[in-house]
Amino acid sequence: MKLSIEQFAQLKSFCIQEMGFLDMGAAKAEFMEPEARQLEAWLESGIHGKMAYMANHFELRTDPTKLVPGAKTVISLLYNYYTSTVQLDASAPKLSMYAYGRDYHKVIKKKLKLILQWMNEHVGEVAGRGFVDSAPVMERDWARRAGLGWMGKHTLLINQRAGSYFFLAELIVDVEIDTIQEQVPDHCGTCTRCIDACPTLAISKNGYHLDASKCISYLTIELKEDIPAAYQDSLEQWMFGCDICQAVCPWNRFSTPHEEDAFKPKDELMSKDKESWQALTEEEFDDLFMGSPVKRAGFQKLKQNIKFAMNEETNPD
């Protein structure tokens, strides 16, 4: 089965107008060359830290036809999570914006199921699977192939109309799409703001290459053991994730607040001051972060992060 240009336009309209996605594009499902070689080199360099899972299922990660038998197309989607709401206490430990609301995996996965349902009702019998950062899928690269943006120097996808504060999702389906997606050229130019702003020097001096083992998001989420002493004083108040490289990016002047109720932060989360974060109990943690991506870190990890995030204030020289 092949979707016509008209059917593709109708599908895109449904994804954006009815499901609330920022944008949608598609690319042919095939082995990813040269991305596979780039991933291989990155893994061999060892800078993925303790994320051993990144080296697992290499063939599935680089070839969607092995992940989803019969796959013909990878549909990529962007879902906005930007908000102008900020934590009231500027001295408090900080959460990455994406973690303000409910777990995005569940919220977006429901929407992908509805899109597949729509395709079956309006296009014909379609088989496929939806993914939201939950399987060996090279999301950024598929979105780039689908014409949704380019890889910035901080290695995140940047969209000219929306910046970079969005989640990536995919539908890998067994239908062809009769349209060609033009890839977006790099528009970072000579800008080095993300490189200059990273407190742990995780981004290489020329950009486009990330040492994940130094990234604050990795240190505060993925790393299950103690944060290395070399970085304990460099968290700049981040207790879960980090938005520094996005906050300084000029393209995010185009970001607009999302309209997703599930991503709206709780008032008690945004109003919590430094002292109450430092005194956080496990019971409070469970209540405050019920259904939140922050649960992934766990109470003990978050408490450790808070200790290091507040190091400068709590342990002055």
Residue 94 lies in a domain: yes
Confirm whether 186 is a catalytic residue. no
Q: Angle between the 5-13 and 104-122 helix axes, to the nearest 10 degrees?
A: 140
Residue 193 lies in a domain: yes
Q: What range does the domain containing 25 cover?
A: 1-307
The b-or-e profile of 233-266 (16+ CB within 10 A means b, else e) is ebbebbbbbbbbbbebbebbeebeebebeebbbe
Q: Which range, 36-45, 85-94, 306-315, is most confident?
A: 85-94
Q: How many domains does the chain have?
A: 1
The CA distance from 289 to 19, in Å, is 25
Per-residue model confidence as pLDDT tens digits over 173-187: 999 997 777 899 999
The CA distance from 36 to 34, in Å, is 5
Contacting residues for 261 by C-beta, under 8 A, at least 6 apart: none
Contact, 140 vs 157, CB < 8 A?
yes
Residue 317 lies in a domain: no
Cα 208–212–214 angle (5° rounding)? 110
Contact, 289 vs 100, CB < 8 A?
no
Q: In the 8-state DSSP scheme, what is residue 246?
A: H
Per-residue model confidence as pLDDT tens digits over 126-156: 999 999 997 889 999 999 999 999 999 999 9
Give the CA distances from residue 41 to residues 36, 38, 47, 150, 155, in Å, rounded to whole numbers and listed in that order: 9, 5, 10, 20, 15
The CA distance from 221 to 230, in Å, is 17
Residue 312 lies in a domain: no
Residue in 133, 174, 178, 186 annotated catalytic? 133
Per-residue model confidence as pLDDT tens digits over 229-284: 999 999 999 999 999 999 999 999 999 999 999 999 999 999 999 999 999 999 99
The alpha carbon of 144 is separated from its chain's Cα centroid by a whole number of angstroms, namely 14
**Token code pair at residue 26:** 């598609």
Residue 313 lies in a domain: no
Contacting residues for 89 by C-beta, under 8 A, at least 6 apart: 271, 272, 273, 274
Residue 314 lies in a domain: no
Residue 84 lies in a domain: yes
Per-residue model confidence as pLDDT tens digits over 13-54: 999 999 999 999 999 999 998 887 888 887 777 666 566 555
The CA distance from 241 to 286, in Å, is 18
Residue 315 lies in a domain: no
DSSP conformation letters of 70-121:
T--EEEEEEEE---S---S-TTS-EE-GGGSSS-HHHHHHHHHHHHHHHHHH
**What's the whole-model pTM score?**
0.93
